[in-house]
Structure 1
Amino acid sequence: MKVLVVIKVVGTDEDIVAGNVEMLAPMGEYNDKLSKAGILLDAAGLRPSVEAKQVVLEGGTTSVVDGPFTEAKEIIAGYWIWQVGSMEEAVEWARQCPVDPKVGRGLLEIRPYWEEADLQALLGG
């Protein structure tokens, strides 16, 4: 099972997370652990939302919003792509993620990919 693990932080904590040198070593060790276990397919941290853009698709039109997104409750700080045996395995790995006590609230959202078999079942074949 392939999953995307989205790393989110409270928008007001984005400055704490962005460029947090203290978390580099623990996160590097965690990524090494994931890699040695054979589940890590890809991972990256994202630059702060001040450097981002949102393209809004609404009512048949598009508009562009420049960051930072101060009204956002949660900001995506990074992601992992894992190949795991089950959602339960993904949750167990996520529970081992290092935590920075200075960050008020972090969240890991685990989302499974659509697999070929899922699509075949949807299409009735």
Structure 2
Amino acid sequence: MKVMVFVQIEPKDETGEMPSAELLAAMGAYNEELVAAGVMLDMGGLSATSQSVRVAFQGGTTSVVDGPFTESKEIVVGYWVWEVGSLEEAVEWARRCPSDPHDTTTSWLEIRPCISLEEFREAQG
């Protein structure tokens, strides 16, 4: 099962400041563990929403909105693509993700199963 794991933060935390060297080292070790286990397929970080745009579609019209997107409840700042045996396995990997014990803000990992083009076609009938 392929899943995408979104790393999310609160908009007020989008300062562009890098994590501590200690947390970066812990995340590096965690990523190496994911690779060694054959779980990691892809990963990446995303730039701040101040450098982003949204393309919106409504009623047959298209509009473009420049960031930042402070009205959002959460902002995606990174992602992993994992190959796991089940959603439960993905949750167990996510529980092991390092976090800063001194950070009082909330961040999330959202795990979503991926749907292949073939599965999408089958669902359409």
TM-score clears 0.5 = yes
Runs of 5+ consecutive residues of structure 1 not aligned to the other structure:
none
Distance in 1 (alpha carbons) for counterparts of 2:57 and 2:104: 32
Distance verdict in 2 for CA 1:55–1:37, change over 3 Å = same
Give the counterpart letter for 1:118 in structure 2.
E
Higher mean Cα deviation, 114-123 or 51-60?
Answer: 114-123
Distance in 1 (alpha carbons) for counterparts of 2:105 and 2:43: 23
1:23-77 alpha-carbon deviations (Å, 9 max, x no partner): 3211111110100110100000111111111111111111111111111110001
Give the counterpart letter for 1:20 in structure 2.
P
1:65-122 alpha-carbon deviations (Å, 9 max, x no partner): 1111111110001000000000000000000111123251111111111146634642
Distance in 2 (alpha carbons) for counterparts of 1:89 and 1:47: 29
TM-score by length of 2: 0.88
Counterparts of residues 33-44 of structure 1 (less than 5 Å): 33-44=33-44
Moved over 3 A (4+): 115-121
Distance in 1 (alpha carbons) for counterparts of 2:11 and 2:104: 10
Aligned to 2:18: 19
Equivalences, count = 123
Aligned to 2:96: 96
TM-score by length of 1: 0.88
Runs of 5+ consecutive residues of structure 2 not aligned to the other structure:
none
* Preserved CA contact (<8 Å) 1:11 1:75: yes
RMSD: 1.8
* Preserved CA contact (<8 Å) 1:18 1:48: no
Higher mean Cα deviation, 36-45 or 18-27?
Answer: 18-27
